[in-house]
Amino acid sequence: MSTLSPFEHLFQRCDELIKKYLDPIIKAEQDALNSSEPVQVPLPDFDSLAAFRLLSHAELEGYFEAKAKETLKILDQDFEAGKIETSKFASLIFLFILKKQIAKKWTATGLGDDASIKNAETTDFKDLAQQALGYGRQFIEGNNGVKENSIQVLSALMGYFSDELDPVLLKELNLYGKRRGDVAHDSWKRNTRTFESAEIERTRLLTILDLIKNFYESNLAPIYTPRKKRWFSFFKTQWFSKRSLYQWN
C-alpha cells in the first residue's frame, strides 16, 4: 500500500506520464531542429498526446478526491465525538445549505438562551451536519472532472469557502477539463486543432502542479482570519455561543 501523500502521488505520476508520453515527442522535434542535415520535423504522436491528457486529468481528479476524502474521514470522527463546531464543518454545512437551497432560521444567540430552544436547535444543527456528510460522500463518488464546480465542491469538503480559492488555478483546471473532453468524448482525428505541442502540454500541467502546491500544500492558503468573519456572519444566529465561534479551529 502506498505511503505517499495525495500530492506526492500526483507529482510522481505526472512526472512518469511526462517522461513516457511527452519527452519522446519533444526529443524527436529537438533532434530534427538541431540536425546538421535537412530533416523534416516529425509530426507528434497524437495518440500519445491524447493519452497524456486523459491520464493526467485522471490523476488531478484523483488528487482532489483523495484530499476531500481525507477531510471527510476526520469530519466523520469529529461528528462521532460530538465536535461539529469546527471550520471544516462550517464550510461543508454552508455548501450543503447552498446547494440544496435549505432555509434555516435559528433563534438561539448564545449564553442565556432558553434550554428547550437551544436543545432543539442543537439537534437540528447536528442533523444538518450529518446530512452534509452524506452529501459530501455522494458527491465524491459521482464526481467526474476538475472543472470549476467540481473543484469548488471538493475544496469545500476540504474546508475552503469558494471565495477563498485561487482564481488562476480554477481557470487553469477548467480549461484542462475542457481540453480533456476534446479527446475523451470523440476521436481526436475529428479535431486535431485541440493539440498544440508536447512542450505546451507539459508546461500546462507543470503550471497546474505549481498552483496546487502553492495553494493546497502550503501555508499560503487562506485558513484563518478571513474565514472567521464569514463563520460569524453566517452562524451568528445559531446555537453556538459567540465566544465559541472565535475559538473554532
> 10 with 60: CB under 8 angstroms?
yes
Tally Cβ neighbours within 10 Å of residue 218: 9
Report the alpha-carbon distance of residue 173 to residue 134 in Å, rounded. 26
The whole-number pLDDT of residue 107 equals 59
Tell me what pLDDT residue 109 has: 54
Structure-block grid coordinates of residue 198: 508536447
- Per-residue confidence (pLDDT) for residue 84, from 0 to 100: 84
Give the per-residue pLDDT at 143: 94
Per-residue tens of pLDDT for the chain, all 249 residues: 568 999 999 999 999 999 999 999 999 999 998 888 887 888 889 999 999 999 999 999 999 999 999 999 999 999 999 888 777 888 888 888 888 888 766 555 555 556 665 666 667 778 888 999 999 999 999 999 999 999 999 998 998 888 889 999 999 999 999 999 999 888 888 887 888 899 999 999 999 999 999 999 985 444 444 554 555 445 544 434 333 433 334
The C-alpha cell that represents 166 in the structure block: 485561487
**Cβ(204)–Cβ(176) below 8 Å:** yes
Cell of 224: 484563518
Rounded CA-CA distance 17/102 in Å is 43
Q: Could you tell me which of 81, 102, 90, 80 has the C-alpha nearest to residue 240?
A: 90
- 59 near 178, Cβ under 8 Å? no
> In the prediction, which pLDDT does 116 show?
65
Give pTM, 2 decimals. 0.82
Asked whether the beta carbons of 132 and 93 are under 8 A apart, the reply is yes
Q: What residue segments make up the domains of the chain, in order of their start?
A: 6-245
The reported pLDDT for the residue numbered 140 is 95
List Cα–Cα distances, 95 to 33, 47, 200, in angstroms.
53, 39, 35
Residue tagged 500530492 (cell numbers): 7
DSSP 8-class letter at 41: P
